[in-house]
């Protein structure tokens, strides 16, 4: 069973943009080839408005012309549009392939760094936090980031670009109708912005509860023999039920906020379409807007609405991913309290080692000392039995000797070399602890 039970501690509060900046600084691979990827995305975005433009040209110059439809113009428009769509599809494929490859490479490196950092943390820290929680931070939380970057990140980039390109083309057709669309969506943007702030906190709780759930499940599975042996199945089941219920409630709260944002977007879309039809017909009657332009504008409004609605959903996933990213960064920010001296360290001398504890005292955080001023010498090649009742400090003694933890006071020396000056690879190759 894991030590340091209870819910994992709440991470410090940090803004979304600050988390993104720190995450990108941690993953410079995400910036690899960014200019080329954005260029492909730009071509893909421009290609999305090819159909509305083709519709307008086809109606105004190929159908609604004196003497009847001009098949030559219609064929030219269709052929040009097909060529643009083929180019757009190729650019979209290349863009997504680059983004998938870069994101997977970057986050694989993050996962590797996080795992190694957890291994560098002392036993003291690992005993103060549920181990299942640490595992969830470098597995499920990193997976959440990966899923967002490989799906939501691509869609978010494309849709934000599509919004900009679509707005520019709409302005070229009619600034009056563009104003109608923007006015219809302005209140929705403000409301969604407020909801996103609430959603950020909600998904922070979701990631925390998910970590607690995974930790509880892992401990229950790994500790199954102990649970049966000590007859604590009922207590374990209650802990597991509480973890599942906590995760469910947190997820439901986040989903409710998300649905509110989607509903606001749907309402704004309906108002925008209705407004464009009413104002567009009025402009058409005044002959300031052609049939083709109004039809194309309705297509453009659809292209405008689609990314707004999708972006709302993607931003929800983004908050979940950012919450996971924040948890991973929190782990990497923990400075190992038992540091490897590395290249500046010393190697243990060859041959058998003698041991000296020089006035060693050790206390766990928030607790009384479990070792008090221990001073002893153990000669090389000798056998010593350390005995005592449970909680007397036997395991602590062994962990200090193997430098899984450092003394609160005093020093441990091996053949005269202070243990905190010995490189880990030299120490681990010569001194080991075999648990029960």
Domain boundaries, the chain: 16-332, 342-430
pLDDT at residue 16 greater than cutoff 70: no
Helix (H) or strand (E) holding 414: strand 409-414
**Interval 314-351: pLDDT, tens:** 666 676 677 777 777 777 777 666 778 878 889 999 88
User: Could you tell me if 193 and 264 are in contact, meaning their C-beta atoms sit under 8 angstroms apart?
Assistant: no
pLDDT at residue 181 greater than cutoff 80: yes
Q: What is the mean pLDDT of residues 393-409?
A: 87
pLDDT at residue 426 greater than cutoff 60: yes
Burial (CB count <10 Å: 0-12, 13-18, 19+), residue 434: exposed
CATH superfamily of 16-332: ABC transporter type 1, transmembrane domain (1.20.1560.10)
Q: What is the mean pLDDT of residues 218-229?
A: 76
Provide, rounded to the nearest whole percent, the portion of the chain with pLDDT above 90. Answer: 7
Per the confidence metrics, is the pTM higher than 0.95? no
pLDDT band at 6 (very low <50, low <70, confident <90, very high): very low
Burial (CB count <10 Å: 0-12, 13-18, 19+), residue 61: middle
- 16-332 and 342-430 share one CATH topology? no
Q: What is the mean pLDDT of residues 106-116?
A: 72
DSSP for 27-43? -GGGGTTHHHHHHHHHH
**What is the strand order of the sheet 417-418 is part of?**
369-378, 355-363, 409-414, 417-418
Q: Which of 352, 308, 353, 62 is nearest to 162 (CA)?
A: 308
| pLDDT computed for residue 149 by the predictor | 67
Of 288-297, 324-333, 415-424, the poorest mean pLDDT is in 324-333
Tokens (6 digits) for 328? 């991973």
Task: Please provide the CATH number assigned to the domain covering 342-430.
Answer: 3.40.50.300
User: Could you tell me if 44 and 88 are in contact, meaning their C-beta atoms sit under 8 angstroms apart?
Assistant: yes
Those residues whose C-beta lies under 8 Å from the C-beta of residue 222, and which sit 6 or more positions away, are: none
Q: What is the mean pLDDT of residues 405-416?
A: 90
Q: If you average pLDDT over every residue of the chain, what do you get?
A: 78
DSSP for 334-397? SPPSS---GGGSBPPPSS---EEEEEEEEE-TTS-EEEEEEEEEE-TT-------STTSSHHHH
Q: What is the mean pLDDT of residues 430-434?
A: 84
**377 beta partners:** 356
pLDDT band at 360 (very low <50, low <70, confident <90, very high): very high
Those residues whose C-beta lies under 8 Å from the C-beta of residue 161, and which sit 6 or more positions away, are: 41, 42, 44, 45
Most confident of 272-286, 317-331, 392-406: 392-406
Distance CA 334, CA 332 (A): 5
């Amino acid at each position: 069973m894991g030590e340091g039970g209870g819910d994992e501690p709440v991470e410090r509060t940090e803004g979304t943009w600050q988390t993104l900046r720190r995450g990108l600084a941690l993953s410079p691979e995400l910036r690899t080839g960014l200019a080329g990827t954005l260029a492909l995305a730009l071509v893909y975005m421009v290609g999305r408005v090819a159909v509305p433009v083709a519709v307008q040209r086809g109606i105004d110059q190929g159908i609604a012309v004196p003497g009847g439809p001009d098949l030559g113009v219609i064929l030219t428009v269709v052929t040009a549009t097909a060529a643009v769509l083929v180019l757009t599809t190729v650019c979209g494929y290349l863009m997504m392939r680059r983004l998938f490859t870069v994101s997977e490479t970057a986050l694989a490196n993050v996962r590797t760094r996080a795992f190694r950092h957890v291994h560098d943390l002392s036993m003291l820290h690992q005993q103060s936090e549920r181990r299942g929680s640490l595992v969830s931070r470098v597995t499920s939380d990193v997976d959440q980031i990966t899923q967002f970057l490989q799906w939501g990140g691509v869609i978010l980039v494309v849709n934000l670009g599509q919004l900009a390109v679509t707005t520019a083309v709409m302005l070229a057709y009619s600034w009056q109708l563009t104003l109608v669309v923007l006015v219809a969506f302005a209140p929705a943007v403000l409301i969604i912005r407020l909801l996103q702030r609430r959603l950020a906190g909600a998904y922070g709780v979701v990631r925390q509860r998910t970590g607690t759930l995974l930790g509880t499940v892992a401990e229950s599975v790994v500790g199954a023999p102990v649970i049966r042996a000590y007859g604590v199945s009922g207590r374990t089941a209650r802990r597991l039920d509480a973890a599942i219920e906590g995760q469910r409630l947190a997820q439901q709260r986040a989903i409710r906020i998300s649905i509110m944002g989607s509903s606001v977007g749907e309402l704004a879309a309906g108002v925008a379409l209705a407004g464009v039809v009413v104002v567009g017909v009025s402009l058409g009657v005044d002959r300031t807007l052609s049939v083709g332009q109004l039809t194309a504008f309705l297509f453009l409004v659809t292209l405008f609405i689609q990314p707004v609605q999708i972006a709302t959903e993607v931003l929800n996933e983004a908050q979940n991913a950012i919450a996971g990213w924040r948890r991973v960064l929190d782990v990497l920010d923990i400075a190992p309290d038992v540091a490897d001296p590395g290249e500046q360290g010393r190697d243990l001398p060859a041959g058998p080692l003698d041991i000296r504890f020089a006035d060693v005292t050790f206390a766990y955080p928030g607790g009384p000392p479990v070792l008090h001023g221990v001073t002893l010498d153990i000669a090389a090649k000798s056998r010593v039995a350390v005995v005592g009742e449970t909680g007397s400090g036997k395991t602590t003694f062994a962990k200090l000797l193997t430098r899984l933890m450092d003394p609160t006071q005093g020093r441990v020396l091996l053949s005269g070399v202070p243990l905190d000056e010995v490189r880990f690879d030299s120490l681990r190759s010569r001194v080991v602890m075999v648990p029960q």
